Amino acid sequence: MSKHSKQINTLGLDVSTSITGLSLFVNNECKINEMIDTRNKNKFPTLYDKADLIRDRLVEISKDYEVGQVYIERSLFVFTSGYSSAQILSKLSRFNGIVSWISYDVFKVNPTLVSSATARKSCGIKVKRGQNSKQVCLDYVLDEYQEFVLEYTRSGNLKPGTFDKSDSYIIGKAGWEDWNKKSLKS
């Protein structure tokens, strides 16, 4: 595959220490939507081992696509009751920084950190009070991106990584929209 240097290529990442979602947009069309699974503690005992796997995938992408924009979901900064401890937030923030640096190193583009709320707003997604924002975003992606693959476990639940892929799609789409609006103002 040849480099697509004349097209607008935007990478969206939903970074997590367990599963990282990745979506690549070329002129508002999603060309890659996948997850990078780093849950195996024997294979990936440290954050750096996990980061190496992500680096490897980004390097593969850089061989086929010239990425001009990288958007990464900003890690949480506040405690949410029942969800995150200070230690987990710190670890996630460190890992987000490592992946941000890797994306800069691979693509030579300053990554833009964007909150999930900002990304949803940019895509026109409205989450009503009481709704599950992850499910609302997944429904949006399923409506917009026909190639999105839903996989289920034997017990009928969504396989791990589904929401990460969905979230990376929203981040990448919002990034493309953001870049396009900026380019129109020029």
Classify residue 3: in a domain, yes or no.
Answer: no
pLDDT band of 7, cuts 50, 70, 90: low
Classify residue 2: in a domain, yes or no.
Answer: no
Classify residue 99: in a domain, yes or no.
Answer: yes
Strand 112-114 versus strand 69-73 pairing type: parallel
Mean of all residue pLDDT scores within the chain: 89
Classify residue 59: in a domain, yes or no.
Answer: yes
Q: What is the pLDDT of residue 180?
A: 73
Give the CATH number for residue 101: 3.30.420.10
Mean pLDDT of 84-110: 90
pLDDT band of 186, cuts 50, 70, 90: very low
Classify residue 71: in a domain, yes or no.
Answer: yes
User: Does residue 94 sit in helix, strand or coil?
Assistant: helix
Classify residue 4: in a domain, yes or no.
Answer: no
Q: Which domain holds residue 155?
A: 9-185
Q: Is 175 exposed, middle or buried (0-12, 13-18, 19+ CB in 10 A)?
A: buried
Q: How many domains does the chain have?
A: 1
Instruction: Tell me if the pTM is above 0.85.
Output: yes
